[in-house]
Each structure stands twice: as C-alpha cells, then as structure tokens.
A and B are shown apart, each in its own frame.
Chain A
Amino acid sequence: MSHIPFFLGEAYRALRRNAAPSVAAIVTITMTMLLVGVLVPILGASNAKTNDIRDQVALQVFLFPNANQSEISALGQQLEGVEHINAVEYVSPKQGIEDLRTTLQEGGDADVLSEIKSNPLPPLFRITPDDPDNLESVLAALQPPDAAGKPRPISSAIEEIKTGDEQTETIRSVTGALKITLFAIAILLGITSIWLIANTIRLSIYARRREVEVMQLVGATDWFIRWPFVIEGIVVGLLGAGLATGILVVIKTVALDPLSADFSLIENLNTISLPQLLAILIVGAVGVSALGSGITLRRYLRI
C-alpha cells in the first residue's frame, strides 16, 4: 500500500509526542518478555527432566521366591495381553544380583555384595507402561478387585506389586504445580503488558484528538485513522521485545555458555533453540501490542 510511509510517519510523530507512556510500556514489555524468555527454557528443562524420571517409572511385580518356572512363564504370557504395557522384562534372581552388582560397582561399592553368601532377591517382572499416566490402569489389570472389593493378583505366584507410587505422584504434582505457576505468571504479565499498551494508545488518541477529528471530517476511512495507532502499538511492542531479546542473548553468551560445559541442568536449557525462543518472544510481543491497541481503539476511538 502506498499509504505505508504516511502511517509510519504519523506513528513516529505520535511516539515522539507521547514519549513517557511509550517508554513505560516498552520497559514493561521488556520485563515481561525477559521473564517469559527465562521461564520458557526453565519450563522446557524441567519438563525434560521429569520426562526422564517418568520414563523410568515402572511396575515391579515381585514373585514368591519359590515360584516355579511354569507359573512364571504362564504369568509372562498373561502380561503380554494386558493393555497399555510398553515392555515386560523378566528379571531372575540371578539376573537381579548381576544388575545390583553392576550398579554398586559403578558407585564404587562392589565390596558390599561379597558379604552376602546366598541370593536374597526374589524373581520379578519389570513392567513399563506406555505412558506414566496409564500406571493406574495397568495396576488395576494386574490385580482386579475380587468379590469383597479387595485387589487380588492375577496369578498366585505374585507376592507383591510395587509401583513407586509416591515417587511418581510427587513428580506429577510438582511438575503440574510448577507449570501452573509459571503459566499464571506469564498470563498476568501478558495482561499487564496489554493494559499498558492500551493505556499508551489511549493517551496517544487523546494527544492526537484534533488530528482524528480533522481526519474524520475530511473523509478518511476508519482504518486509515486506526492504522497509525496500531503501528504505534506494534512499534512499542517490537522495541520491548528487541530489548528483551538483546539482554537474553547477552546473558546466554556471557553467562550460560561458559557454564554449560560444567552443569548438566544448564545443558538442558538448550531444549529450545535460541532463534526459536527469540521468534516466540517477538511474535508474542507484537501480538500483545496489537491486542492492546485494538482494545483501546474499539473503546476510545469513536468513529
């Protein structure tokens, strides 16, 4: 459109004349985008971490030490037919002690096992559900309630089923709460930004009320009158996002990159790539400011 230079010129004029509220809005957007820019990778990292832990979540079906081979293979067959099971692994007592020995050796405590003469470990099935959220249903399938309503294992060879319930519950609730909190903070900051942009544009409309009046009387279309204000809002948003991304890039290159060699959690921060993050921030800021401008124009620009 050939009007774009005119719109840009008008928006520039408005920004200069309306500098104080514009600066306030820019600073708020910068803060918001900085926080979002820090929150998003942290959220990503904590998600990655919990996914790691959740992947390890498994059911351990302990069998009686005296369970015989046919009972064990029959149970193995049954387990194959249960839904939502990703993997079933049989761990014999012999295998179990080997695993334990390997783990202890890695930890440098290989000597502990030499104290034990016999093998105290029972045979067990290690079952991984296809999704940690399906743990309950798998558990219910393995021990359906009997007539009295008490859970009853599907095989007489099963002594006990351990779910690591507490562990998974804690992870689930902590990550859930973290997600909700961060999300709430981001939403609140977003609303503050929209409100500040709206306020900036409202002041700008007031400052330019004569122009608006003249525009209406000489026959400018509604959108011709609105565009400079929308552009003003978007420029404010872009400046805020630009400042925030600049600060984030500096923090990352100066502070995080040298550290990431030493700390695994910081390595996790790379779950989202920097250009992607910056793109999200800029799009977010522009969206927020367009929304703020739009709301005010609807309410205060009576045309």
Chain B
Amino acid sequence: MPEAAETHARPANTPLVQLRDSTVVYPGGHVGLERVSLKIDRGEFVFVVGPTGCGKSTLIKLLNRELEPDGGKVEIAGHDINEMPRTKIPQLRRRIGNVFQDFKLLPNRSVYDNVAYALQCTGASRAQIKSQVPEILRMVGLGAKIHNYPDELSGGEQQRVSVARAFVNHPPLVLADEPTGNLDPETSIGIMQLLYRINRTGSTVLVVTHDRGLVDKMRRRVIQLHEGRVIRDQSAGMYTTDESTTEFGVRIRNELGIAESRGKA
C-alpha cells in the first residue's frame, strides 16, 4: 500500500492533522477561523458541520495551504505546513485528495483522462497510469463508463469521477468539501459509502457538509463550527470501527428510510 511509505519513522501517536490556535482573518476583517485547535488521527472519518460562513471551507483551504493562518499553526503528520518552502507545496498536495461540491472535472476530457490527468500532473509513468486508472474507476463503480465525457454522466457519477481522481494515488488524507451538496439523498449515500470505503483502506477522510440528517445517522466524529469557532467536537467511540462498507450502506439507508435501489447513484 502506498500509505506504508507515508508512516515511515514517525511516532505512531502523531496526529495526522493538528491545528493549534489557528486563526484566519480575511481581508476586510471577516474572521474565517478563530483560535481553532483540533486533532485528527490517522484513519479517522470526520465530519465538519456548521452553517454557511462558519469556516468549514476555510479549514479545507488551510489544510491545502491555499491559505495561511494569521495566527497559530497547521501541522500535517507533525510538520508545520506553513514553514515548508513554496516549492514543497506540490509534494504536500500529492498526499491530499480533494473532492468538491462542483466536482471540478475537465469537461473536454473523458472520465479516464480526467483521472489520468491527476497522475500525469504529478509525473506518474505511463504504465502506472494504465494500471491505476482503470482500477480506481472500477472501485468507484464506473468501470463501464471510462470513455464517457463528464456531461454524459449523472451528478452522482461525476462526483464518483471526482472521488476517483482524488484517491487515485491513495493519499493518506482525503478532504471533501460538500461532496453531496448538489446530489439527492440516495445518491449522497452512495458517495458517502464510497468515502467510507476509502476510509477503510486506511486513509483519513474529512467531510465538510451541512447535511445534518446524514451526519447524525452516520455516527462518526462530528466537529461543529460556528462563526469560526469549534462549538462541538463529538469524538469517535460511539460507533463500531469495523463496519463493512455494505453494512454501512444498509444501515444508513435503513435509518434514513431509503430503500436500496441498485444501479443508481
């Protein structure tokens, strides 16, 4: 597994993500995050919830180092990412998979090329691309649609492509910013199931959402933000960690009262 390389020679108890009193103030005075401290361990599945403007997206940008904190520290795997030189940022981003609400697929490239693009951009070999891309597309359930173009796919399928692209090089951390924001509940469960499956391969998954109903039923750690501050951090422990992906899907569907309908999403 590629994750193996990531954990070398580091104490096992180092949190994968650690924010220490991180503050972000946007130009104009709007506070994105205010003295936020939190720890996320390896292999966790974390929801970040809160109303619009509470700082959820700011948190994602902070972890990608699209933003730098005005105060405090952002550490990933024990390293302060704002101390690394600019030239190292690509290396950081290769270890983080990003999924977006609007998918951010390239409209004039096929599903295969969209996923391959992420590998090409990071200098993967041709052989690597040829073996990894079909594999990941099978995993997200799009093995039959690799030559379709994004506008020929449903929203759920497009989001699966986006997830495939984020996870194709098996990053230790996957950030999903409102991944189900544009999708119907049934499709949303499919995407959540997929993210859960990724989580079960060992990657840490952080999902930003305001779909409270879904979050409450999933029984994962929930960090609630309000006006840039953490107002609730309901830690893990109240769920069984070795639930299989299928069990997970069945349970969520039952709890949300949605009948299983295969082939959709």
Contacts and interface: CB of A to CB of B under 8 A. Distances in A.
Interface of A: 2-3, 6, 17, 210-211, 213-222, 224
Contacts of B257: none
A216 B93 CA distance: 8
Contacts of A2: 123, 125
Nearest to B98: A217
Contacts of B64: 217
Contact of B117 (A17, A214, A216): A214
Nearest to A214: B104
B7 interface: no
Which 9 A-B pairs rank lowest in CB-CB distance, beginning with the nearest? A219-B93, A219-B94, A220-B121, A218-B118, A219-B90, A221-B90, A215-B121, A217-B98, A218-B121
B12 interface: no
Given A211-B106, A214-B106, A220 B98 contact: no
Interface in B213-229: none
A221 B87 contact: yes
Contact of A218 (B87, B93, B107): B93
Nearest to A9: B120
B42 interface: no
A25 to B, nearest CB: 22
Contacts of B253: none
A220 B122 contact: yes
Contacts, number: 51
16 contacts: A3-B123, A210-B107, A211-B106, A214-B121, A215-B117, A216-B93, A217-B93, A217-B98, A219-B90, A219-B91, A219-B95, A219-B96, A220-B121, A221-B87, A222-B90, A224-B123
B125 A214 contact: no
Nearest to A5: B126
Interface string B154-184: 0000000000010000000000000000000
Nearest to A216: B93
B94 A218 contact: yes
Contacts of A17: 108
A218 B122 contact: yes
A213 B117 CA distance: 12
A210 B108 CA distance: 11
A67 to B, nearest CB: 83
A17 B96 CA distance: 31
A213 B123 contact: no
Nearest to B118: A218
A213 B94 CA distance: 14
B136 to A, nearest CB: 13
Contacts of B125: 2
A220 B90 contact: yes
Interface string B67-99: 000000000000000000001011111111010
Contacts of B165: 218
Interface string B99-111: 0000010111000
A78 B123 CA distance: 78
Contacts of A216: 93
A122 to B, nearest CB: 81
A220 B107 CA distance: 20
B120 A6 contact: yes
Which of B98, B106, B121 counts the most A-chain CB atoms under 10 A from its CB?
Answer: B121
